[in-house]
Structure 1
Amino acid sequence: MDVALVAILGEKVDTRLLNLANQFATGTETEIVVCKFINEENYQNDVKEASRKGHQAPSSESIKEEAEKTAREAAERVFDADVNYSARGAVGPLPKEVLETAADLSCDHLFITAKRRSPAGKVLFRDAAQSLMLKFDGSVTVNFNHE
């Protein structure tokens, strides 16, 4: 059975990306895994900010559970009834966490969203999507975000 990973990397869920994965899997035995990834660096910054303000910082486990809930709700809204899918959340360094998750799941296909940037912008902003396209050992479908 083929396995495809839909990697949600940003704050917003890319519905168009999920629709592409739905079309890809419809009528096949492909299993789609929708995963909302939280960048560990962003999580650590949130923990520091909460601590600075005297608030209780959320645990990485609660962040992971919330990310999984986001992924599941997005998949439920988009995927057809005959599409075999699961949802998960992950916290870790990007893009490393995406590549490790894909390897653990033996994924053949990766779906990601990327921002349109100049080559210099990709270098300056360490574009995770660019790195995933180069390092993933399989097919990659990219939806370019026009925001």
Structure 2
Amino acid sequence: MQRGFVVVDDTETHRTLLEEAVRFASNDDGDSAELVLFSWLTPERVDENFDAIASIEQMEHTSYDAPSPLDSVRQFVRQFAEETLADLGKSVDYEIVAAVVDEDELGTKIIETAESHACDHVFLTGQKRSPTGKVLFGDVAQQVILNFDGLVTTAMD
């Protein structure tokens, strides 16, 4: 693996997945791969954040200089990664990518972003669904597995 792409969220399954990616990236022979850590917000979540800040400003008659929603996502990912690396006693180079994505376009966004960053391995979680549920509602992990031109490691939530 030269560069791994890890989809990050705040669940224990995502922490386990990041730990696995770090193990892949930090070989004992001294060659380490880079990681691209990816997290996202839906447009609805961005709107909720702006609405919350606006209501605070109106109630307190002040202006609130909050970081942008994507900056908040990057900050969360950086903290999540640093805690995980410290727990493992490992060090790997990583880059953080944050995006605003509709949930129905998440699989495509993961593939496009991983390819644009020259990643050869994707790490992501999947949801346990019945075969019928996958057909009717789609599945991000399934879409990535079928369409990404590289290795895909999944952990089931």
CA–CA distance in structure 2, aligned partners of residues 141 and 20 of structure 1: 9
The residue identity in structure 2 corresponding to 1:12 is T
CA–CA distance in structure 1, aligned partners of residues 44 and 115 of structure 2: 25
8 Å Cα contact 1:25/1:83 also seen in 2: yes
CA–CA distance in structure 2, aligned partners of residues 135 and 106 of structure 1: 15
Matched, 1:6 2:6: yes
- Post-superposition CA distance 1:33-78 (Å, at most 9, x none): 111122xxx3237628976xx859xxxx922211111211111011
Counterpart for residue 143 of structure 1: 155
Taking structure 1 as reference, are residues 121 and 65 closer, same or farther at Cα in structure 2, changes over 3 Å only?
same
78, 83, 98: which is aligned to 2:84? 78
CA–CA distance in structure 1, aligned partners of residues 69 and 139 of structure 2: 23
The count of corresponding residues between Structure 1 and Structure 2 is: 135
Runs of 4 or more off by more than 3 Å in structure 1? 10-13, 48-51
Counterpart for residue 137 of structure 2: 125
Counterpart for residue 39 of structure 2: 36
Larger Rg: 2
Matches within 5 A, 1:47-62: 47=47, 55=55, 62=68
Give % identity. Answer: 32
The residue identity in structure 2 corresponding to 1:140 is V
8 Å Cα contact 2:46/2:69 also seen in 1: no
TM-score under structure 2 normalisation?
0.73
The residue identity in structure 2 corresponding to 1:22 is V
The residue identity in structure 2 corresponding to 1:136 is F
Taking structure 1 as reference, are residues 46 and 29 closer, same or farther at Cα in structure 2, changes over 3 Å only?
closer
Counterpart for residue 26 of structure 1: 26
Unmatched 5+ residue regions in structure 2? 57-66
CA–CA distance in structure 1, aligned partners of residues 76 and 120 of structure 2: 23
The residue identity in structure 2 corresponding to 1:111 is F
Normalized per residue, which structure has more strand?
A: 1
Matches within 5 A, 1:101-112: 101-112=113-124
SS state at 1:95 partner:
helix
Normalized per residue, which structure has more helix?
A: 2
Shift of 1:119: 1.2
